[in-house]
Amino acid sequence: MLSGLLLVLLAADPASPIPGTEGTPVRVERRLLLKQGHVFATGGLGYLARGDYYNNPGLLLSGSWYPMEMGGVELKLALFFSSLSASGSEVFDRTGLVPDAQRPVALLAAGWRQALGYGKVLVGTGALLHFDVQAAGHMGFTFTDRGVSPSPMVGPGLLVRVSPRVHAQLDVPLVVTFEKRQRGLVSLGVLPTLTFGVVL
């Protein structure tokens, strides 16, 4: 059936043959984003959004080692520069009360990154970007102004080759924090991060 469809397409537009069908070799660019046996060290910016009364911008450092092409272990460290949001400051000015949510100070987590697919995209006037679509899961701890809370993380990621030695990484994990509050023990948030680094 596929061969019949191919013949129909060729007959319909003989001036535009499918590459490779007329006998001319087709050049396929080899895979350039190779991970096995390498360490990817990155640093950049992130923001922990939890829907409480704090703004949580931060700096993030991570290191990933890939024992295989399809996955690797990773260590993450985030330092937050948290402050009361406008609504939290207004409540404090009117009542003198602060939120029962704990103010994040840092996050330390370790886990695994799994490659889900590999691709290439043409950018601008001919530059090819090679990238990995990934998923990552981590178990970590959030350090707050009142203590330490367990914080599992899971979410999608994108690893992009910028040059032979430089890469970019975009992650958007869901962060679950177990901390004591008046209305429960679970806090849900998201930690989008954009980091750049080197391949070792």
Q: How far apart are CA 33 and CA 26, in angstroms?
A: 21
Q: How far apart are CA 138 and CA 14, in angstroms?
A: 54
Measured in degrees and rounded to the nearest 5, phi and psi for residue 40 equal -110, 110
Percent of the chain with pLDDT over 90: 60
Q: What is the pLDDT of residues 134-144, one digit of tens each?
A: 999 999 999 99
Res 51: pLDDT: 82
Taking the whole predicted model, whether its pTM rises above 0.85 is answered as no
Q: What is the pLDDT of residues 75-121, one digit of tens each?
A: 999 999 998 876 655 565 566 555 667 889 999 999 999 999 999 98
**What's the distance, CA 193 to chain centroid?**
6
Domain over 32-199 is classified CATH 2.40.160.20: yes
Which amino acid belongs to residue 145? Answer: D
Provide mean pLDDT across the span 33-38: 95
Provide mean pLDDT across the span 25-31: 68
Q: Residue 199 in contact with residue 130, Cβ under 8 Å?
A: no
Q: Residue 189 in contact with residue 49, Cβ under 8 Å?
A: yes
Alpha helix stretches (DSSP H) within 66-183 = 86-95
Res 104: pLDDT: 93
Q: Residue 64 in contact with residue 111, Cβ under 8 Å?
A: no
User: Domain spans of the chain?
Assistant: 32-199
Rounded (10°) CA dihedral 174, 179, 180, 181: -40
> Residue 63 corresponds to which tokens in the numbers above?
């290191």
Q: How far apart are CA 78 and CA 56, in angstroms?
A: 11
